[in-house]
Structure 1
Amino acid sequence: MHATITTEPDLIDARKLRDVFGSFATGVTVVTSIGENGAPVGLVVNSFSSVSLDPPQILWSIGLSSPSHKAFCTHPGFAVNVMGADHKDETMRFCTPSEDKFKDVDWWAGNHGVPVLSNAVATLECETEKRIVSGDHEIFIGRVLRVDSRDAAPLIFHRGQFAQLGQSL
């Protein structure tokens, strides 16, 4: 195994860093909220993590240049929809900008009116408690208000592509 060592952060190649980040398998979520015009917004996020059980908190981050960034900054709530392996195509709708990402997607209005995707493996409905800008992203810490889950295989993201779990060890 070849290791790259540098003490100068500005010398780290962005493509190499992205590849290294991609070595860590993550679950796939669609984070949703409501935009300024009252329309639902959503994007695929793999920067999701639990923070605390007491109080119940989670975090996720969004790029400052994301077209949806302003909606999450102005609306008080959001939902984290953990996507299942059986809904890869639905998840793909939220990967790129489009006029209506929610067309033909089954959802309902949860807390603060935020879209909750009916096909999600699990959902956490949250209220934004804190936002922290760091680098080219903003981290959102949310208080969990309501949760739901079903027994299904999660969708995984690893090395730049979607995957699903194989056997448990």
Structure 2
Amino acid sequence: MAGLDAFADALDYPMYVVTTAAGGEQAGCLVGFASQCSIDPPRFMVWLSKANRTYRVGRRASHLAVHTLRPEQRGTAELFGGRTGDDVDKFGRVAWWPGEGAVPVLSDCCAWFVGRVREHVDGGDHVGFLLAPVAESPSGPVRPPLLRFGDVVDLSPGHPA
């Protein structure tokens, strides 16, 4: 739909790294389709491409972690957005620790939360994971600028969307 493309092209939404773990596997990817979707109860929806390894692992997972990045963390965005976990151990290249549900929580990010997967919603080529937050990073004294779509628009994805 050309009208939606024009609308979406005008957006410069934040980018997130989403990580998960299930069955002894870890996965993570760069995500642009994500948003808070409820205040009470608090809920956040993350959309993962069906072509993505993170989707395949995430479908079996009880939790996902959602991380924000600063603009200077483009290298982390390139690792999680431009490489596939089918070929590269992404978690061998970044500092992390196991969070709730054993999901990898990236040590060097602006903010993060871990959410329990409450529901899956098929949206076409992406599936929405409705998350109920169960753990979160401490609040910082200032709101830092975030890595945005315009900062990574030139990345070649590790998998097609």
Task: Place the TM-score, normalised by the shorter chain, in its bin.
Answer: 0.7 to 0.9
Could you state the TM-score of these two structures normalised by the residue count of structure 1? 0.79
Percent identity between matched residues is 24
1:23 Cα shift?
Answer: 2.1
* Alpha-carbon distance between aligned partners in 1 of 2:152 and 2:9, rounded to the nearest angstrom: 6
- Are residues 1:87 and 2:73 paired? yes
Paired position in structure 1 for 2:54: 68
Paired position in structure 1 for 2:150: 158
In structure 2, give the amino acid aligned to 1:50.
Q
C-alpha root-mean-square deviation of aligned residues, in Å?
2.1
SS at match of 1:42: strand
1:22/1:158 contact within 8 Å kept: no
1:58/1:142 contact within 8 Å kept: yes
Segments of 4+ moved more than 4 angstroms: 16-20
In structure 2, give the amino acid aligned to 1:123.
W
In structure 2, give the amino acid aligned to 1:158.
G
Paired position in structure 1 for 2:133: 144
Q: 151-160 or 25-34, which moves further after superposition?
A: 151-160
Query: Between Structure 1 and Structure 2, how many residues are aligned?
Result: 148
Higher strand share: 1
**Structure 2 unmatched runs, 5+:** 155-161
* Alpha-carbon distance between aligned partners in 2 of 1:61 and 1:104, rounded to the nearest angstrom: 24
Q: 63-72 or 147-156, which moves further after superposition?
A: 147-156
Larger Rg: 1
SS at match of 1:94: helix
In structure 1, give the amino acid aligned to 2:95.
D
2:74/2:152 contact within 8 Å kept: no
- Which residues of 2 match residues 1-169 of structure 1 at below 5 A? 12=1, 18=5, 20-36=7-23, 38-95=24-81, 96-97=83-84, 98-148=87-137, 149-150=139-140, 151=142, 152-158=144-150, 161=153
Higher helix share: 2
| Per-residue deviation, residues 48-71 of structure 1 (Å, max 9, x unmatched) | 100122211100101112222121
Q: 19-28 or 61-70, which moves further after superposition?
A: 19-28
Could you state the TM-score of these two structures normalised by the residue count of structure 2? 0.82
User: Cα distance 1:91–1:52, how it changes in 2: closer, same or farther (>3 A)?
Assistant: same
In structure 2, give the amino acid aligned to 1:87.
Q
